[in-house]
Structure formats: structure tokens, C-alpha cells
Structure 1
Amino acid sequence: MRWSRCLTASRTRPRLFSLRLEDVMDRTATSKSQLFHYFPGGKEELPLAVARELLRHWQDQLAAGIRRMQDIGEVTPELDADREAAALLASIQGGVMIFMTTGSLERLEAALNQSITHLRGMSAEAPSVVSA
């Protein structure tokens, strides 16, 4: 979608929650009627749509990385790369949310360690791969 690429590509983009329809119209060269066609609820729908697009892109990139690891023999080919990418993304996002709430990296580190251990096909007793 042209609007999401424009919004996410700019290093000087406005903060997501202070996004104005005019900002979107300027960056995407669209009219207000076009925006309301895709987002009938107006600017309340835009942050969620951008977040969905970013998460989809991130998950696609993780899946591509897992497939590459499968191609070079670092990860078993039996793993479903899309499902593993979804689980890894959920682990990261959950860990980040808990970190933002508690200020503790413990859960994020645990989630990353478990995900990486799983991808490597190692046992749960494998040494920690992420630490503060």
C-alpha cells in the first residue's frame, strides 16, 4: 500500500499518535476522499493500519531469515518458517511490552533465548544467548 510505505519510510515522519490526515495526504499525494475510502473511520484507523503493515513486514522479514537459515542448514527444514516467524514476533512484542511496563529485560531475554534455542534445535538447557 502506497500510504503505508510513505509513512514508514520517512525518518522525519510525525509521531504515530499525533498523525494528522493532512500529514498522510501530503506524504502520499492522496485526497481526503481517497483516505476516507480506505479508512472510513478517519484518523483513528490510521495508526492501527500502519502498525499492522509494520508487523506484517517484520514477520515477513523474520520468515525470510528463517528460510535462509534453512537453506544453509542452520535450521531444520521441517520447521514452518511462517509459523516460527509469527511465534518469534509474538515473543519479541510480548517481551517488549512487559519491559516497557516493568523496566525489566528478564522476560524479553527469556523469550528471545527460548525462540533462538528452539530454532537451533537445542535443548531447553542450552546456555543463554541473550543477556543484559
Structure 2
Amino acid sequence: MERALTAKGAATRQRIVEGAALLIREQGVPNVGLEDIRMATATSKSQLFHYFPAGKADLMLSVAAHEAELVIAEQMPHLGDLTSWRKWQAWRRRVVQIYDAQRQRCTLSALTAQLGTGDPATREIVTTLLDRWQGYLVAGVQALKDSGEADPGIDPLVAATSILTAITGGAGMLQATDRISYLDIALTDTIEGLRRPTARTRRKSA
């Protein structure tokens, strides 16, 4: 059970987590030790272990949770308002922009690779992130169906899962090849599949 922190304590802990996340983005997980984080965040050794009793493993999990929150936050407000075809396109551009800027510096991917998703705590962070992300996409697909802009036969959960898979798969290929095209093409094509058949026909003939 996590200890209750004062407002000052919570702010200090958050400062350490954010500082560690920034350092890891710049240098990579294997190159960052507790001493590096301590120096970068102007934190004493006793203070560091006060907030993260298990040391680096504890801190890395906290950084992973922080980065998972950022995955959603960086897509807002677009992800939370997928209520029209135009807004879906704006969100798609935002996602591609985010991953294009990150390239090899995706802290969450680096941390999950380092910590291993076989660890229950890491797996919970990743699963919670994907479930939240999928929930926004399901709501967005349903909104398109309700407005008549999406194929009425589409299952929102299935469509949302395909879109999320296109993103995560494309992001993995980006990490391996440094090519954003995999993500861009997969996401564009999957979203295009949401459109009503008549709309897709008009687009191709235009």
C-alpha cells in the first residue's frame, strides 16, 4: 500500500519522476543510474529512497506510469472528441506527429522493454493504458456511427481494437527501423475503413 504524502511530498516525488523521465528520454534506460537521477533532480540519497524504497526498480515503475499518462495526455483534446470525420483526421495527424517526434526516444517503450511485461506491475500499467486508449476510440467510432459518417455495420470495439493495433504495431516498426511510414500508412488505412462505403467510393473517384 502506498504511503499517504503531504502536498509538498507529492510535489517532490513528482519532480523526481519527471526529472528521471526526461533523463531517460535523452540518454536511454541503460545509461541512467540512480546517481544520475539524484544529481539531475538535486535530490539527496536519503530523500530518493524515502520516496522510492525499492530503489531504481521502484522509480522506473513510477516513470513508466507517468509516461503512460502522457501517452493519453499528449493526444488531448483530439482523442476525447472524436465526434466527426474531420476530428478523426486531426487526431490521426496528431498521433503521427507525436511518434515522428519521439522516434527512438519513447520512454514508455524503453521502460517496458527493460522492466519486462512479464512483471505484473509493468503489465498492469500497460494494460490500463491500452484499455483507456481503446475506450476513447470505441466512443469515437460510436459517435461516427451515430452521425451517419461511419459504416453502420461496424462493431465499435472491433474497429477500435484494429486502430489501436495499427498504432502499436506501427510504433514497434518505427522503433526497429526509424521509419514513420509504417505507422502513418497503417493508421490512415485503418481509419479509412470506418467510412461509409458510399463515402469511400466518392473519395476514390474524386
TM over 0.5: yes
Structure 1 consecutive aligned stretches of length 4 or more whose deviation exceeds 2 Å: 11-15
Tell me what 1:48 maps to.
Answer: 123
1:114 corresponds in structure 2 to 189
* 1:126/1:88 CA distance change after superposition, 3 Å: farther
1:102 alignment partner in structure 2:
177
| 1:39 equivalent in structure 2 | none
User: Could you say which structure has the higher helix fraction?
Assistant: 2
1:64 to 130, 134, 139: 139
Deviations 1:21-50 (A, max 9, x none): 8x87xxxxxxxxxxxxxxxxxxx3211111
Q: Which runs of 5+ in 1 are unaligned?
A: 4-10, 25-43, 128-132
> Which whole-Å deviations, capped at 9, do the CAs of 1:11-70 have from their partners, x for residues lacking one?
75835x85518x87xxxxxxxxxxxxxxxxxxx321111100100110111000100111
Deviation, structure 1 residue 85: 0.3
Please provide the CA RMSD for this pair: 3.1
Partners of 1:64 and 1:13 lie apart in 2 by 35
Change (3 A) 1:58 1:13: farther
Structure 2 gaps of 5+ residues are: 3-13, 22-28, 30-55, 63-118
**1:1-132 superposed matches below 5 A:** 14=17, 15=21, 19-20=57-58, 44-121=119-196, 122=200, 126=204
How many residues are paired up?
98
TM-score (norm 2): 0.41
- Higher RCO (C-alpha under 8 Å, 6+ residues apart): 2
TM-score (norm 1): 0.62
TM-superposed CA distance for 1:77, in Å, is 2.1
